[in-house]
Amino acid sequence: MDERPWEALRMMYDLFCQADLVCHINNALSSYICQTGEKILKEEGSSLTEFKAHVDKICFTYFSEDPLLEKTAQKCFEGLGMSVVPTEEMLELGSSGPFPTSHW
């Protein structure tokens, strides 16, 4: 995977944090998860779990595990019908992080 676009995402996140504008990334992330998740649920052979793993990687790697963005992702995946159970590691880190208990 080409890392350049992803590094640009990290830089954008850092700039938005400095300007106290993370809410805009949060809104975009929510829309992206909900719209893409709905498409995945309609497509046979597509995996919501794989999509969630992709979103988790983005939040962890490029959004510095931002609690607001992680909570938004969790709520969006729950809204798509995915059960979410925090792991011990997530609880120790103070995050309720989204982890699937079912496979679509």
pLDDT digits (tens, 9 = 90+) for 52-78: 999 999 999 999 999 999 999 999 999
Residue 90 has pLDDT above 90, yes or no: no
DSSP-derived secondary structure for the chain: ---HHHHHHHHHHHHHHHTT-HHHHHHHHHHHHHHHHHHHHHSTT--HHHHHHHHHHHHHHHSTT-HHHHHHHHHHHHHTT--B---HHHHHTT-----BSS--
Report if residue 101 sits inside a domain. no
Report if residue 8 sits inside a domain. yes
Report if residue 24 sits inside a domain. yes
The pLDDT assigned to 86 comes to 59
Report if residue 102 sits inside a domain. no
CB 62 within 8 Å of CB 6: yes
The pLDDT assigned to 2 comes to 59
Share of the chain above pLDDT 90, in %: 69
Report if residue 44 sits inside a domain. yes
Total domain count for the chain?
A: 1
Report if residue 103 sits inside a domain. no
The pLDDT assigned to 5 comes to 81
Residue 8's CATH number: 1.20.1310
Query: Containing domain of residue 81, as a range?
Result: 4-92
Q: Whole-prediction pTM value?
A: 0.75
Report if residue 98 sits inside a domain. no
Report if residue 60 sits inside a domain. yes
